[in-house]
Amino acid sequence: MEESQRQKKIGSVLQHDLVDVLQGAATQGGMRGVLISVTKVKVTVDLSVAKVYLSIFPSDKGQELLEGIKSNTPLIRHELAQRTKNQLRRMPHLEFFIDDSLEYIDQIEKSLKGEENPLKDPSTLDKRKKS
């Protein structure tokens, strides 16, 4: 089912403000050199839940940062509510996920360029199950 205009608008507002909140928290928390970007925000039909997809660079710190963000969700939600109080009546609950689509695209490009040729190195292929 396609998103309504209202869902898209709320997702856009949340995405814009979340970038400011998360980048501000990362720089104040002493996490210099870490780039957090909000790639997508999908809001449910009843506008009660917002799924936030984050792209974190460097990706090796992604899981650690995601756990920190999840533990601070009430503070982030409160900060967002303060920023959007004139635009939203109720702040949706936030669910955070890692968006690994850029890494996936990078792997496909490497495969197409021949950098990871499975014929030269069979260990890169998944082991097939014999039935």
Report pLDDT digits (tens) over 37-48.
899 999 999 989
Read off the amino acid at residue 86: N
pLDDT in tens, 65-92: 888 889 989 999 999 999 888 888 889 9
Q: Do residues 14 and 43 touch, judged by C-beta distance below 8 A?
A: yes
pLDDT at residue 1 tops 90: no
Fold of 5-115: GMP Synthetase; Chain A, domain 3 (3.30.300)
Alpha carbons 84 and 80: distance in angstroms, whole number? 6
Residues 4, 42, 45: CA angle, nearest 5 degrees: 45
Q: Model confidence over 85-125: pLDDT tens digits?
A: 888 888 999 999 998 887 788 788 877 777 666 566 666 56
Q: Is the pLDDT of residue 63 over 90?
A: no
For 94, left (φ over 0), alpha (ψ -120 to 50), or beta? beta
Q: How far apart are CA 66 and CA 62, in angstroms?
A: 6
